[in-house]
Amino acid sequence: MPIEGHIEVKKDEFAHEKAMAQAIVTALGEFITARTSDLPHRFKAPSSLKEYFDKFPVNQSVYHQVQLGNNYANPMMLQITTRPSQNILELIFQGADGMRLFTLEIEYG
């Protein structure tokens, strides 16, 4: 019960948890934003991908671009490029404005 002339101060029981959650979300957002300008992420594929490319050999680079999803007003594009001389399958995700969101290089050799 507040005393007349004094302001009652309520302590938020979850203030610490809220601050931690906000810090985590902020850090994750900064991490994702920073990754958009990083070098491509490179992964090694399982041997089955190399077996597939050996079965259907490609001697030159092949480029293909497809739209992801059904959002025609704001499409995300996936650009797929093979680089057979380096045994790399490259996937580039682009926003509707053409900006590269991130790049995955899959090494299959």
- How far, in Å, CA of 97 to CA of 74, rounded? 8
Q: Is residue 30 part of a domain?
A: no
Q: Is residue 29 part of a domain?
A: no
Q: Is residue 85 part of a domain?
A: yes
- Tell me the average pLDDT across 3-7: 61
Domains in the chain: how many in total?
Answer: 1
Q: Is residue 13 part of a domain?
A: no
In degrees and rounded to multiples of 5, residue 24 shows phi and psi of -65, -45
Q: Is residue 6 part of a domain?
A: no
Q: Is residue 73 part of a domain?
A: yes
Single pTM value for the model: 0.58
Can you give the three-state secondary structure of 41-104, one letter per residue?
EEEECCHHHHHHHHHCCCCCCEEEEEEECCCCCCCEEEEEEEEHHHCEEEEEEECCCCCEEEEE
pLDDT at 22: 84
pLDDT at 106: 92
> What range does the domain containing 100 cover?
40-107
Q: Is residue 32 part of a domain?
A: no
- The encoded tokens of residue 12 equal 């938020």
Q: Is residue 89 part of a domain?
A: yes
